[in-house]
Amino acid sequence: MSYELPVLRALIDHFKRMPGIGEKTARRLAFAILYTDREEVEDFAKVLLRVKERIGFCSICGNLAESDTCRICNDPRRESGVVCIVERPADIYFFEKIGNFRGRYHVLHGLLSPLDGVGAGDLNIENLEARIEREGIEEVILATSTSVEGDTTALYISEILKGTGVRITRLARGIPMGSTLEYINGNTLAKAFETREEI
Ligand SMILES: [Zn+2]
């Protein structure tokens, strides 16, 4: 028989559903909540809800946005001729941390993975072609990871953009196989940007 309190168990289970959190860490976090002031816990709960209520996706690029379009798309100082294609909004965070990319982004929200049933229709690819036309984009940088899925997706996009006459490049050198951008340090990524290759 378990003497564990159901409410505490429920909290532990919620933490466990977060990426990278196992039973031990989930338990530690749940106990941290137990020992936190009521006021602070209320704040935390409010922020969790606010994130869900207020944050959506940019109608232009798919990045996180608090209104119809994101802060990067709204910034007139960003170059409009270059678009960097990434898998997730989190990737933009890493690119921005390096700070040497001044163009705009396009977020796919996933990678092609036929084995998992993820096709082109499941990704934010459709309005990419329209963007190229509308925004006068001259270069598309494919910055998907160098995993099988990342390469497949990059190849697919380069195929559908072939007819547009846009310059297509791929971040390749310096990014180890199968790694996601998250695990690459700024210098490596900056170098990968400089040495991007034409497809
Ligand atoms: Zn945007």
Cα 92 to middle of ligand 1, angstroms: 11
Cα 59 to middle of ligand 1, angstroms: 7
Look at residue 134 and tell me if it is in a domain: yes
Average pLDDT score over residue span 183-199: 73
Question: Residues 115, 177: one domain?
Answer: yes
Cα 107 to middle of ligand 1, angstroms: 9
Question: Residues 75, 139: one domain?
Answer: yes
User: What pLDDT does 1 receive?
Assistant: 66
Question: Residues 103, 10: one domain?
Answer: no
Q: Using pLDDT thresholds of 50, 70 and 90, give the confidence band for residue 84.
A: very high
Q: Which residues contact 16 (CB under 8 A, 6 or more apart)?
A: 22, 23, 26
User: What pLDDT does 172 receive?
Assistant: 64
Look at residue 1 and tell me if it is in a domain: no
Question: Residues 97, 186: one domain?
Answer: yes
**Quick check: 108 pLDDT over 70?**
yes
Residues with CB under 5 A from ligand 1 (ion): 58, 60-61, 63, 70, 73
Look at residue 71 and tell me if it is in a domain: yes
Cα 165 to middle of ligand 1, angstroms: 23
The CATH number for 37's domain is: 1.10.8.420
State the average pLDDT for the chain: 89
SS3 57: strand
Look at residue 186 and tell me if it is in a domain: yes
Q: Percentage of residues in the chain with pLDDT exceeding 70?
A: 91
Per the model's pLDDT, the better-predicted residue between 181 and 85 turns out to be 85
Q: What is the residue whose two structure tokens read 């969790």?
A: 48
Question: Residues 49, 112: one domain?
Answer: no
Cα 23 to middle of ligand 1, angstroms: 37
Instruction: Catalogue the long-range contacts made by 34-40 (C-beta closer than 8 Å, 24 or more residues apart).
Output: 34/8
Average pLDDT score over residue span 25-38: 97
Look at residue 181 and tell me if it is in a domain: yes
Cα 110 to middle of ligand 1, angstroms: 16
Question: Residues 101, 23: one domain?
Answer: no
Number of domains within the chain: 2
Cα distance between residue 179 and residue 108, in whole Å: 17
Look at residue 48 and tell me if it is in a domain: yes
Cα 154 to middle of ligand 1, angstroms: 20
**Quick check: 20 pLDDT over 80?**
yes
Average pLDDT score over residue span 161-185: 73
Cα 106 to middle of ligand 1, angstroms: 7
User: What pLDDT does 164 receive?
Assistant: 86
Cα 56 to middle of ligand 1, angstroms: 11
User: What pLDDT does 40 receive?
Assistant: 98
Cα 62 to middle of ligand 1, angstroms: 6
**Quick check: 106 pLDDT over 90?**
yes
Give buried/exposed letters for 109-147 (b at 16+ CB in 10 A, else e).
ebbbbeeeeeeeeebbbeebeebbeeeebebbbbbbbbb
| Residue 178: CA count within 13 A, CB half-sphere | 0
Cα 122 to its chain centre, rounded Å, is: 15
Q: Using pLDDT thresholds of 50, 70 and 90, give the confidence band for residue 89.
A: very high
Range of the domain at 156: 61-198
The CATH number for 70's domain is: 3.40.1360.10
Question: Residues 47, 67: one domain?
Answer: no
Question: Residues 88, 47: one domain?
Answer: no
Cα 194 to middle of ligand 1, angstroms: 24
Question: Residues 48, 126: one domain?
Answer: no
Question: Residues 44, 68: one domain?
Answer: no
Question: Residues 17, 112: one domain?
Answer: no
Question: Residues 86, 175: one domain?
Answer: yes
Look at residue 35 and tell me if it is in a domain: yes
Cα 81 to middle of ligand 1, angstroms: 14
User: What pLDDT does 59 receive?
Assistant: 94
